[in-house]
Amino acid sequence: MRKLSELNLNKKRCLVRVDFNVPLADGDVQNDFRIRAAIPTIRHCLNQGASVVLMSHLGRPKGKIVEELSLEPVAYALEGLLAQEVKFSTDCISTEALKVSEKLGVGEVHLLENLRFHPGETNNDAKFSERLAKHGDIYINDAFGTAHRPHASNVGVLDYFRLSAAGFLLEKERKYLSGAVKSPKHPFVVILGGSKVAGKIDLIHNLLKQADKIMIGGAMAFTFLKVLGENVGNSKVEADKLSVAKKILSEAEKQNVEIILPADVVAAPELDTDSPWRVTKLDELEDDESGFDVGPETSMIFESHLEDAGTILWNGPLGVFEIPAFSTGTHSIAHAIINETEEGAISIVGGGDTASAVESLESGMNGFTHISTGGGASLELLSGLVLPAFKALDDHE
């Protein structure tokens, strides 16, 4: 795909697909991480003498207008980050919206209303794509969060542009997430968490090709522990994925990849902020107790395996970090990764819940080499799949 730095943007209208799918509450943006991630691309375009038209989705309105999913609050948040006016149109393909884009002067910014208010976006409709394309002279994709979706704004619209490029964020996401799997700096240590094995089967198989060690926490660890005959109490086990977990463990042994699983957990009778909890070894788990976080011994074991790592990839929290009693393991591993990054390791944090877990730290999102803005997109890219938005840019001449 063509790089943004290769294009002459002077006096051009840049139509930029961004990912402003951010949480809103009472008409205000609650987390501007994804908006901030797009700022470098927007500023570059403006500094090069261009005007910028931004398009994004928000939520899942399913082709209908849902007032609570309007991007208007995002326009206000963006004005604060850019320190300039952001024009906003209440529709993305209306004649009025197109007129605003056509009259933009150098250095001006125009944000379009939620793309998914039209069914043509998710259907990759040709007429919808053609209408969107009228907003700009050059197409730029900087929306990694939707790169795994073959939609009009990141695939179909390219049919109506002569010039296109990847934004700085998209380029960075591909560099780190794809590069981590294809040519990592060894030792390559992977930390996997989250609730289910099911969503990470392809990811694990792909990582086994390059990883030196894989540490598994979160609820998904109990399926692997069950296969090994460990006591898991009442912890969540995916019964239909036991055979899959067994095959993964067998394949890891063949590939000489070390799999490290929890030795102790923070357990409770139920997942509740008021539920009594305790730290316990696996073999001392009661029948009515479930593990909701890795224990301190496991945290120390995991941290010891991170020492001298060349590349660290982390996807999935190690416990239910939203509840303070079950957040220690996730926070401990985050601080350990930050320390190793300071020592020269390349650290890559997957998007979605992992990024949210990192943001809950006192230090915030500082100290990591790269934090992905994509949940499903990062998972698919790390799994070795071809993302439709990447292919569209690669194929575009």
Task: Place 364 in a pLDDT band, splitting at 50, 70 and 90.
Answer: confident
Q: How many CB atoms lie within 10 A of CB 30?
A: 11
The CATH number assigned to the domain holding 82 equals 3.40.50.1260
Task: Please provide the DSSP assignment of 315-335 as one string.
Answer: ES-SS-TTSGGG-HHHHHHHH
33 plus 158 within the same structural domain: yes
371 plus 248 within the same structural domain: yes
Residues 199/201/205/207 CA torsion (nearest 10 deg): 30
108 plus 207 within the same structural domain: no
pLDDT at 1: 87
290 plus 164 within the same structural domain: no
Short-list 19, 8, 369, 381, CA closest to 174: 381
Which of 146, 171, 196 is at the close of a domain? 171
107 plus 39 within the same structural domain: yes
All residues at 6 or more sequence positions from 189 whose CB lies less than 8 Å from its CB, including other chains: 211, 212, 213, 214, 215, 305, 306, 309, 311, 312, 313
228 plus 300 within the same structural domain: yes
50 plus 11 within the same structural domain: yes
274 plus 154 within the same structural domain: no
Task: Place 181 in a pLDDT band, splitting at 50, 70 and 90.
Answer: confident
Judging by DSSP bridges, how do beta strands 290-294 and 264-268 pair with one another?
antiparallel
Please identify which of the residues 34, 116, 131, 200 carries the catalytic annotation: 34
Give 3-state DSSP helix, strand, coil % of the chain, rounded to 5: 40, 15, 40
Instruction: Note if 196 is an active site residue.
Output: yes
pLDDT tens digit string along 120-146?
999 999 999 999 999 999 999 999 999
pLDDT tens digit string along 261-304?
999 999 999 999 889 999 999 999 999 999 999 999 999 999 99
Please identify which of the residues 167, 217, 352, 374 carries the catalytic annotation: 352
| Domain containing residue 157 | 4-171
* Buried/exposed code over 125-148 (b: 16+ C-beta within 10 A; e: otherwise): beebbbbbbebbbbbbbbbbbbbb
pLDDT at 351: 74
Alpha-helical (H) ranges within the chain are 33-47, 72-82, 95-102, 119-122, 126-133, 168-173, 179-182, 201-207, 221-227, 242-254, 296-306, 328-342, 353-359, 376-382, 388-395
- Is 133 part of a structural domain of the chain? yes
Please identify which of the residues 43, 134, 185, 196 carries the catalytic annotation: 196
Task: Place 363 in a pLDDT band, splitting at 50, 70 and 90.
Answer: confident
- Is 119 part of a structural domain of the chain? yes
Q: What percent of the chain has pLDDT over 70?
A: 100
Tell me how many domains the chain contains.
2
Give the least confident one: 14-23, 101-110, 163-172, 375-384.
375-384
370 plus 229 within the same structural domain: yes
- Is 155 part of a structural domain of the chain? yes
pLDDT at 7: 96
pLDDT at 334: 95
pTM of this prediction?
Answer: 0.93
- Is 304 part of a structural domain of the chain? yes
pLDDT at 375: 87
Instruction: Note if 34 is an active site residue.
Output: yes
Please identify which of the residues 179, 310, 376, 384 carries the catalytic annotation: 376
Q: How many CB atoms lie within 10 A of CB 326?
A: 25
